[in-house]
Structure 1
């Protein structure tokens, strides 16, 4: 089974751990510490051995930061996790602060302005240079100073800390990648040379996996191997990874231009770059790396990881694989939705874990599932309003007739990664949810049908998904979409559809999610999600500029019962009927007879 439903964390209560950490900080002469949910690779998914934030606070979301001071402590979470943090975190020990309202640096500066300046410790392996620069700037007026703490005091206190993962590395076939690892190394190395860089330090596991056409098994739901690499301008690579992870076949695949050494050799290799200009990604590279390069006499060039943009723009082979994966996954989703309706008709009240396991089982029955792409979000009734709710055996509740069910899930297949959200009525339709459901659907359609001139970013498009909700006085506190990897991270940079998207324009081949939502605390949540790929769009007669648009990858019907047709325009109804027609045509041949019959009913024209 790929998903665990057990609560995370054992040992002393979080409040006791907080007291012990404060004692350790006082012994080292610092007044506080930053505790991020991060590892040395700055990825969203971390190994159990790196779960310092959950160990300290109980919060298990995929993004967050704790700030611990002698008398006060706070946990900072984004809009996805405010309700979850309120449930998981001891409010007597930690304040819960929403980052979209107050940033950690601003909170710290205000508090230190009241209590006086002090030194704030941080682990330089767990923070990037850009993050520390922003915090230092915010804290400067308060007279505070950030100081590195090595070793991390939590690692000393955490007596039952799990061992580091040692998953085996496997070859990712060139037929699925669409480009050989050698060609990638030479192409990106030449790009570094053009920018007068002798090398680039790679610390993101998915960048290393993409560059070398390998995959791994060190993390749950993300097929990567943890390690570091240095890409040199002439195209050779030094790979720093536990040697036992690499078989003879993998080493042969890597070839003579890729030298493999243990992680302990990483620091000395950085030292050998003395005098050279070295690309370092300030957003994702640990500050420890930058400091080591500076100490060695290298000249760090703070710029983007050279793998990010090429990785985001999928090759034709990768897109073909993604389409195969979504066809397979869509058939499993339809079987699941049919199963769910039969349970409702039988008057059953299945639990959230039972529902999640049923869906995972149907994906596994394809015979192609390698893993799920993240822990399934299966929120029934009020749990659906917790944006990234993760059911466990303590929170599991039974779905009741008349409630909504929100299921956000995905699969990892060797030819692609999927991520889909559907919200369904279970039995009788909750009438007060139909209007917000339809408004969310309007937002999804607005993104799917968007056309824009080259050069726009995800931030430019994000308001399209919210416009109908805004007109009704609604909104949601998460991004509209994230990048998605090809049998890699389900959340992949550097692009997204959100208010905080960077300056990188959307380009053909990029795969993103399209997932507007609405959440009514204590009642229900609604989110609808398709994956889309950026592609050239037809220019209308008389048009003057080349345009881009989205093409839907996801194949799965929406709940027709939840839609208020009067809120949709004629064009929106035409899109929905056209989409459902494509879903039926693609999936019907892949389904058993009973599920096929259900699909044909679920995809009939809206006004039929």
Structure 2
């Protein structure tokens, strides 16, 4: 099994660790300390040795941070984790609704003029620190970079990851890394920038056609790089990790120990391109201390990586057909077994991974499977453990959000299933969620439109019922890379124009605490929109559906659907039967045919 179910943190461990941290703060002359979730590579998912937020508080979510003062310890979490955090932290920690509560406002409320706030400059981005500093300065509160105070207290801290990097085959990457380097180097020359500092592992993985195993579920290599305007690259990694890829990299990419990264930064001539939204504050400080001019601009790999080339898109389609067949076999099995009453959440997760493993192509799951029965479905990023495992009962909903990492693509899919008669209001909410997903799937929009413009399409059917959900509608997805990839997303706060080749999730939801959760998710790719007879001669984009798995027809209130929505569902189910039917066994095909019957 890739997934495990052990309990990885205990709330009772937090208070003594908090007390020890406060003693260390006093020794350093700090009134407050910020403890982020991120690591020195600014990753959403971090290695066990970098789970400092979890070590201190017990909170295991993939986003959030803690702020520790002399008498208050706030744990800042967004809408995905507000139920979860309450069960994972001790009373000494106070959950804070973020981003509704602004960090600067919280600090000025709890601190007085002259207070000093400490932070590790490797664990915060340039932009985050600059924005916070600007807001705190009028209140007389000072930010002070300094040594990490968690690490010396962490007695049983795991060792850093050791697996070596690997070359990503050109038949999957679709473009040699020499061509990628040359393309980006030209953009640096055109901008008058001799070099760019790359700090995001997935950017470097994309640029050099390499992958790693440093982070579970996400095949990224932990490293830094400097890209020069002549297309040469310096790659910095821990010893031994690059040995097997030297020939793949070639003479224009040289490898160096990661502890030489700071010296290399200090030797650069500017203006050096640095992304303030992703680069650690420590990198900016090193460059400025050396007198190097900084050109603040987006990571040059960010948008090229997001816009998949034809080979990557074809790989994504193949991966989704393979994964779709595994999911359909799983759902057929679940439909037969769940009503018998013998399943638990863990048993469901194990069975689903088994179907994916049977493809003989699964490299890993793309994240810990979320399998929430009944009230657990309302915990948006619920992770079942040996302590929380519960039976899957008749008369409730089961939410299963999962994905696979295949060499040719990364998948992410959510289906919500009725086990026996659904709870009251569940079908109404399910139908509204499905209508929102259909609205995104059918959307046509002019070039230049962002995910922030489209997000409300998915929410409108729920809004008419006085309901909503506290997470974005969709995130970017990598090509055998991170299942959460930026900068593209479907979210109210997104200002990145969507472009051809971008892959996103489309996953509206609805969650009723203590009762049930609903989420329906497909992956979609941005494509050029077909011309419409009688339409303006305007450059339009649309979405191609990548995921082919039926919805639960038992939860669809057909009388609530418009004719266009009904037609779309029938089209989708007919296409699912066509795509997936030849890939499953006879018994599963019978189930799939029934599941895909026209409404």
Instruction: Give the shorter-chain TM-score range.
Output: over 0.9
Distance in structure 2 (CA, Å) of the matches to 1:393 and 1:140: 47
Q: Tell me if 1:257 matches 2:252.
A: yes
Q: Tell me if 1:124 matches 2:105.
A: no
Q: Tell me if 1:510 matches 2:510.
A: no
- Partner SS for 1:153: coil
Retained in 1: the 8 A contact 2:10–2:88? no
Match of 1:80 in 2: 80
Q: Tell me if 1:519 matches 2:503.
A: no
Cα deviation for residue 6 of structure 1 reads 1.0
Match of 1:155 in 2: 151
> Where has structure 1 moved over 3 Å in runs of 4 or more?
9-12
With 134-143 and 401-410 compared, the bigger mean Cα shift is at 134-143
Distance in structure 2 (CA, Å) of the matches to 1:207 and 1:109: 36
What do the CA deviations read for 1:205-257 (whole angstroms, capped 9, x no partner)?
10010000011111100001101000001100000012311234x11010000
What do the CA deviations read for 1:306-339 (whole angstroms, capped 9, x no partner)?
0000000000000000000000000000011011
Equivalences, count: 598
Match of 1:543 in 2: 535
Cα deviation for residue 60 of structure 1 reads 0.2
Distance in structure 1 (CA, Å) of the matches to 2:369 and 2:102: 29
Cα deviation for residue 542 of structure 1 reads 2.3
Cα deviation for residue 540 of structure 1 reads 2.0
Match of 1:47 in 2: 47
Residue of 210, 226, 231 corresponding to 2:222: 226
Q: Tell me if 1:571 matches 2:564.
A: yes
Q: Tell me if 1:111 matches 2:107.
A: no
Match of 1:21 in 2: 21
Match of 1:529 in 2: 521
Residue of 145, 160, 167 corresponding to 2:163: 167
Retained in 2: the 8 A contact 1:45–1:219? yes
- Partner SS for 1:245: coil
C-alpha spacing 1:430/1:10, structure 2 compared with 1 (3 Å): closer
Match of 1:186 in 2: 182
Structure 1 unpaired stretches of 5+: none
What do the CA deviations read for 1:489-533 (whole angstroms, capped 9, x no partner)?
00000110001112x210010000000000000000000000000
What do the CA deviations read for 1:346-381 (whole angstroms, capped 9, x no partner)?
x12311111111101110110000000000000100
Retained in 1: the 8 A contact 2:10–2:58? no
Match of 2:287 in 1: 293
Residue of 351, 355, 358 corresponding to 1:362: 355
Match of 1:337 in 2: 331
Retained in 2: the 8 A contact 1:236–1:258? yes
Distance in structure 1 (CA, Å) of the matches to 2:555 and 2:534: 39
Q: Tell me if 1:195 matches 2:154.
A: no
What do the CA deviations read for 1:546-568 (whole angstroms, capped 9, x no partner)?
21110100010000000000110
Match of 2:135 in 1: 138
Match of 1:311 in 2: 305
Cα deviation for residue 11 of structure 1 reads 11
Distance in structure 1 (CA, Å) of the matches to 2:419 and 2:241: 46
Matches within 5 A, 1:483-498: 483-498=476-491
Cα deviation for residue 94 of structure 1 reads 1.3
Q: Tell me if 1:458 matches 2:451.
A: yes
Retained in 2: the 8 A contact 1:341–1:427? no
Distance in structure 1 (CA, Å) of the matches to 2:391 and 2:12: 30
Distance in structure 2 (CA, Å) of the matches to 1:80 and 1:588: 35
Distance in structure 2 (CA, Å) of the matches to 1:84 and 1:442: 28
Retained in 1: the 8 A contact 2:307–2:499? yes
Residue of 416, 424, 438 corresponding to 2:409: 416
Distance in structure 2 (CA, Å) of the matches to 1:167 and 1:198: 32
Distance in structure 2 (CA, Å) of the matches to 1:287 and 1:77: 22
Distance in structure 2 (CA, Å) of the matches to 1:397 and 1:235: 55
Q: Tell me if 1:32 matches 2:32.
A: yes
Cα deviation for residue 10 of structure 1 reads 6.9
Retained in 2: the 8 A contact 1:243–1:260? no
What do the CA deviations read for 1:275-330 (whole angstroms, capped 9, x no partner)?
42111111111000010011111111111100000000000000000000000000
Retained in 1: the 8 A contact 2:321–2:579? yes
